[in-house]
Structure 1
Amino acid sequence: MKRILCILSLLFFITACDDGNLTVDVIDFSEVAAQKCSDKDVIYKVKDAEMLFIEIPASTFINDVTVEGEPIEVTINSTNKVTYRKYDGTVSSANICPTIPDATPNLKEQWNATSGIIQITSTAIKSTNSTDNSTRITGYTYNIVFKNITFQKPTGPQVYETFIFGNYVRNVDRLAFGFNEEVDKSTCVSDNRIFDFSVGEVFTLDVENYDTMFANEVTTTPRTALISSSNKLSYRLYSGTITNAYFCANTIPTIPTLLQQWNAIDGIEATSGIIEVSTTTLTTTTYQHTIRLKKVTLKKGNSEFSLGDDYLFGTLITN
């Protein structure tokens, strides 16, 4: 009788310990590179017979750097989806990207995320010119983490407080900077503004003390000024070709469209953000002003890049 009671007690104990608890399945894609479907807003990872993918608008991945400690946050819902799948064979992009995905291998199991937050932290990828120390942004890395995500499995829910999806890398076009060395001074705008343009690119320099900086006198040492609210440097990229007529219009034309604007960061005396102008004579009545930018950094939003130690803005001819 005692033996029977012990067996019953043991069975009760096992049942009580289970108490409906679910087996925790481990999925790990941390070492797998993320890819994006070319015709869908789907970012996915594949590992042998497993796939993990995110469906969120491409606009979520901004071309900018996120502030430290302030990632982009997207709530998981019927629009922003996270899904895990397991197949009976090796999978590829053909099982997720086409309008009609491949039917093989066969889907064995699917988990759908029902709640949680997608956190995205963005950093800039830069190339560096070792000769002049200039940098250019060539892309962005998006580190993706799921917070408090709940997957609904066939056997019930599974919750992760933190689930690291990993990095998704997106390339961007380098700014061309296809300017000529000779710049123009528009007769249509303020006398303090010098500009250069090449197709859809415009580089504008506004100098407060224009008459002093570009005086018709030969210099022995360059005249200098710091980038500031009074001495402004801006790079703009438009959707179409810019001509002098654009600057002459009474109101700013809506076409071509402004796509990007980068503004120079204020300079620091003898350190950075320095405008230098050297003047020589071409004829007895003609002067050539060579404008150089020393250690100037351009910024848009939270992203920035350097023009380098010594950037030739161009030459200006005056009479």
Structure 2
Amino acid sequence: MRKIILSVFVLGTIFSCSDGDLQIETIDFDSVSLQYCSNPVRNAKNLMFKINESEALILELQNGALNNGVVGDTIITESTVPNQSQITYRVFSDAVDDDYFCDDIPVVDPTVIQEVVAEDGLVIIETMLAESDSTLFAHSISLSGISFVTGNGERITNLAISEFGEVTTDVPN
């Protein structure tokens, strides 16, 4: 009986060992501020990101997604992932800051340990006149149905990134 219990324990230990792959259990960026290197502009491609210590969530918004809007109206724009906009999740070897994304010459350290590109989802942009300044449009960006699949086929579904953030652009003259 003792040999059977020992055998079960040994086999259980062998099969429960990790193969060394990094496992992503959750992606949580709701409490992290939206950042960008240069102010977002209408009718252009825009790069925005959120940094959570050694993780980053990067949104490359398709050209024209931040449209001109209409003074007095709320405009909803949708951009599909990955066909129109791209969302990338990166894990770094150490804490990262905006220099990683904004420097003309990319920094060498920290290094990217894992990168996962979203395979499905929707970026929703609600555009309206900014309440605080009638010369600006406010663009509220949210994510819906974002699906990441790692290189080993693991689907990441425990996402807490629905509200990506808000940016403003000038109202055209």
Q: Which residue of 2 aligns with 1:5?
A: 4
What stretches of structure 1 of length at least 5 have no aligned partner? 129-134, 176-236, 238-319
Aligned equivalents of 1:37, 1:11: Cα separation in 2: 53
Matches of 1:125 and 1:33, distance apart in 2? 21
CA deviation digits over 1:209-252, x for unaligned, max 9? xxxxxxxxxxxxxxxxxxxxxxxxxxxx6xxxxxxxxxxxxxxx
Per the alignment, residue 31 of structure 1 pairs with 31
Is 1:127 the counterpart of 2:131? The answer is yes
Shift in CA distance, 116/100, structure 1 to aligned 2, threshold 3 Å: same
Across the aligned residues of Structure 1 and Structure 2, the Cα RMSD in angstroms comes to 3.7
Structure with greater contact order relative to length (CA < 8 Å, sep ≥ 6): 2
User: 1:111 offset after TM fit, Å?
Assistant: 1.9
* Change in CA separation of 1:81 and 1:165 when aligned onto 2, cut-off 3 Å: same
Greater shift in the superposed pair: 7-16 or 112-121: 7-16
CA distance in 1, matches of 2:15, 2:98: 45
- Letter of the structure 2 residue corresponding to residue 33 of structure 1: S
**Which residues in structure 2 correspond to 1:281-296 (within 5 Å)?**
none
- Distance in 1 between residues matched to 2:129 and 2:33, nearest whole Å: 16
Could you list the runs of 4 or more consecutive aligned residues of structure 1 that deviate by over 4 angstroms after TM superposition?
A: 10-18
Q: Which residue of 1 aligns with 2:168?
A: 171
Task: Quote the Cα distance in structure 2 between the aligned partners of 1:161 and 1:119.
Answer: 18
Alignment partner of 1:116 out of 120, 123, 134: 120
SS in 2 for 1:96: helix
Deviation digits for residues 24-57 of structure 1, max 9, x if unmatched?
4333211111123328731111233332211232
Write the distance in 1 (CA, Å) between the matches of 2:13 and 2:38: 51
CA distance in 2: counterparts of 1:145 and 1:37, whole angstroms: 21
Equivalent pair of 1:55/1:80 in contact (CA under 8 Å): yes
Is this contact kept in 2: 1:140–1:171, CA < 8 A?
yes
1:5 positional shift: 1.4
TM-score normalised by L of structure 2: 0.68
Deviation (angstroms), 1:149: 0.8
Aligned length: 163
Q: What are the within-5 Å matches in structure 2 for residues 1-319 of structure 1? A: 2-12=1-11, 23-38=23-38, 41-64=46-69, 65-66=74-75, 72-76=78-82, 80-103=85-108, 105-127=109-131, 136=134, 138-152=136-150, 157-160=154-157, 162-164=159-161, 166-174=163-171
